[in-house]
Amino acid sequence: MKALILKSYSKTGQLEFADIARPSIKPDEILVQVHAAGLNPVDYKIPKGDFKPILKLRLPATMGSDLAGIVVEAGSRVSRFKVGDAVYASTFDLGSGSLAEFAAVPESAAALKPANLSFVQAAAIPMVGLTSWQALNERLKIKPGQKVFIPAGSGGIGTFAIQLAKHLGACVGTTTSTGNVELVRSLGADQVIDYTKQEFEQVLKGYDAVLGTTSADGLEKAIRILKPSSTVVSLVGPPDAAFARGRGMNFLMTFVFGLLSRKIIRLAARYRSSYSFLFVRPDGQQLKEIARLIETSHIRPVIDTVVPFTQAKDALAYLEKGRAKGKVVVQLVDG
C-alpha cells in the first residue's frame, strides 16, 4: 500500500511516499481503509524531532494521526465494529499512522463516523475534538456562565473548542486576524479581539480559564486576564513534571520538564491560578459523544483545504505557515 513515511528526523522534516506492507491487525484492532486523513500541527513537528523525547516512534514510521474510513477487517476480540462500518479515529501516540491507504486502529480508539458528515468532514474532527473535550470537560471543567479564553480562534483547535465551550454554556473570548473575525463570531465567540489592532490582555479581564494554543509569550499574557482561583491548560507547552510522571518517564526527564515549566507555573501562582500541560489521548468513547453533538448540529467542522493524497507533503507545508482557517484534510478515496 502507499503511505507517507518518516525514515529519519531532520530539521526540514523530510517525508517521502513509499510502498509498504498492509498492516496486520491484533485481536483487539480493526483494519480501516482510509478515505480521508485530517492534518494537525503535530504532523509537521514530529518529523523535525520536536516530540522525539516524548513519542517513541519506530522508524520508518507512517505519518498522520486522524482518519475516517471503512472497516475492512476486524480482530477476533472486536465487538463494537464489523466489516463495512464507517468509522473515525485518532491514532496519535499509538504507533499507527493515518496517511496511508490502510491503518490498524485499536477498537478502543475508534467510533462510528457521525452520520451527517462525509469522510472528509469526519477526518477533520478526531484530534481537535478530543483535545477540546479533554481540556474543557476534564481539566478546566467548564460550567455554564464561566468565561474561557481560547486564542487563535480560526485555527483547527480554536474552531472546534469555541463551539464546544459554547455548548457547555461558557462565554468565550478569542483572538484572530481581521479577515477571520466574522468566522469566529459565527462559531459562537462572544469577545473577539483582532490581534492586528489590539492586545487582548489590555481588553479582556475576569476570565475563569485559558486554553493555551499559542506560544509561551502568549500564554504568559493570557494568565494576566484571569481572576483568582482560575486554571490554565496549555496544548503547546511547556510540559510539566506531572505530565512526565503520567507517561512513566525517568527521574531525569521529570526533573527537566519540571524546570521547563517552573516559570509559567510560578507566574500562574502569582495570579493565584494553576497551570498544567495537556497531551491528547485517543478515546473512542469520547469520539462517540462528540459524534452525538455533531449529529444534533451543535458543532460543525470547519475545513480550510482538501487535497489529494499525492499532495500531502504540500498540505503539511501549508499548515505549517499557520494561515489555515480550520482544518486541512487529505482525501485518499474519492466520493
The answer to whether 15 touches 316, Cβ cutoff 8 Å, is: yes
The pLDDT value given to residue 176: 96
The pLDDT value given to residue 52: 85
Position 215 confidence tier, pLDDT thresholds 50, 70, 90: confident
CA 276 → CA 232, 233, 234, distances in Å? 6, 5, 6
The pLDDT value given to residue 226: 95
For 228-259, write each residue's pLDDT tens digit: 999 999 998 889 999 999 988 899 999 999 99
Say what the pTM is: 0.95
The grid cell for 158 is 480554536
Average pLDDT estimate for 23-31: 97
Domain annotation for the chain: domains and CATH numbers: 2-125+302-331 (3.90.180.10), 128-277 (3.40.50.720)
DSSP string, 30-99: EEEEEEEEE--HHHHHGGGTTTTTT----SSEE---EEEEEEEEE-TT--S--TT-EEEEE-TTTT--SS
The pLDDT value given to residue 190: 97
The pLDDT value given to residue 181: 97
Q: Which of 331, 306, 278 is nearest to 161 (CA)?
A: 278
Position 298 confidence tier, pLDDT thresholds 50, 70, 90: confident
For 67-98, write each residue's pLDDT tens digit: 999 999 999 999 999 999 999 999 999 988 99
pLDDT at residue 335 above 80?
A: no
3-class secondary structure, 147: strand
